[in-house]
Amino acid sequence: MTSKKRDQSFTGLTTKFAKNIYATGKGKIRLAVLARDLAPLFERSTDQSTHQARPLRVLDVGGGIGQFSEFFARNGHQVTHTDIAPDMVAAAQQRHQQQGLAANYRYLTAALQELPEHLDGQQFDVVLCHAVLEWLAEPEDALPLLKQFLAPQGTLSLMFYNRDAKLMANMVFGNFDYVEADLKVKKRVRMSPQQPIAPAAMEKWLKQHQLQVCQRTGVRCFHDYLRNPEDGEAHFEQLLRLELQYNQQAPFAALGRYQHWQIKHAD
């Protein structure tokens, strides 16, 4: 990446992330959606070319405390967990040891841009990149890097912060000045993504890099528009069922605060 803009690091924010994101209703919805979407992959243990059972090779880019890749580790697949923040990697390793999964992992503390020198041409059956690109100064530049890690028949599981949904939510809540300011503020909040991505822009980037979307899901299509957030907590199981029921259907999928797209090499 040639830009002088800086990517955001989360060193020192492990506890805050665990409490404010992963342990909340919105974090539980994200985890449930990914579990449903990725089940056909992590429940599969057969090499489609040889029909021989073998563990999948999984790369988790910006894996945080490592809970998303655990679906694969529990099913016997081999995961390379990476993150730019040393304390995130340490927390993930401790978590996996406690759950008896550490034997299925190796760990790298490195930014996405540094991974090619660490991985030395390795390719993976599944590449996970969840809620990472929106924190990068130049998110488009990540796509050719992710592509080079993806095996010819592999799947890229990409989740990104949806700019269109952010605009919609702020209109619903009456933040008209913020929308007119193009969703920009004078003082950036550290826990707020700096580069929300419009799905139309992502479509264009993927096409330019010969990648194609094979499945689309909205993440938090309803949760983030509730007039009373307490209703979501009080009726969480019902809300989750409805999210899972509608989040791959138009127009609801497009309203998800995050987009989860499964991507392959273009034919």
- Summarised one tens digit per residue, pLDDT across range 132-160 is 999 998 999 999 999 999 999 999 999 99
In a 13 Å sphere around the CA of 112, the CA atoms on its Cβ side amount to 31
Q: Give per-residue pLDDT as tens, 45-77.
A: 545 555 557 899 999 999 999 999 999 999 999
Counting every residue, how long is the chain? 267
Count CB-CB contacts under 10 A for residue 223.
Answer: 21
Instruction: Check whether 30 is labelled as a binding-site residue.
Output: yes
> What number of helices (H) and strands (E) belong to the chain?
11, 7
Query: Is 97 in contact with 64 (CB distance < 8 Å)?
Result: no
Examine the pLDDT at 7 and tell me if it is beyond 80: no
Token readout for 7 is 């990517």
62 labeled binding residue: yes
Asked if residue 66 lies in contact with residue 96, where contact means CB atoms within 8 angstroms, the answer is yes
Average pLDDT, integer, range 17-42: 85
From 68, 82, 243, 220, select the one nearest 157 (Cα to Cα).
Answer: 68
83 known ligand binder: yes
Residue 1: band (very low, low, confident or very high) from pLDDT cuts 50, 70, 90: very low
Burial of 160 (0-12, 13-18, 19+ CB in 10 A): buried
* pLDDT tens-digit series, residues 175-232: 999 999 998 876 665 567 878 999 999 999 999 999 999 999 999 999 999 989 899 8
Map out the domains of the chain with their CATH numbers. 14-265 (3.40.50.150)
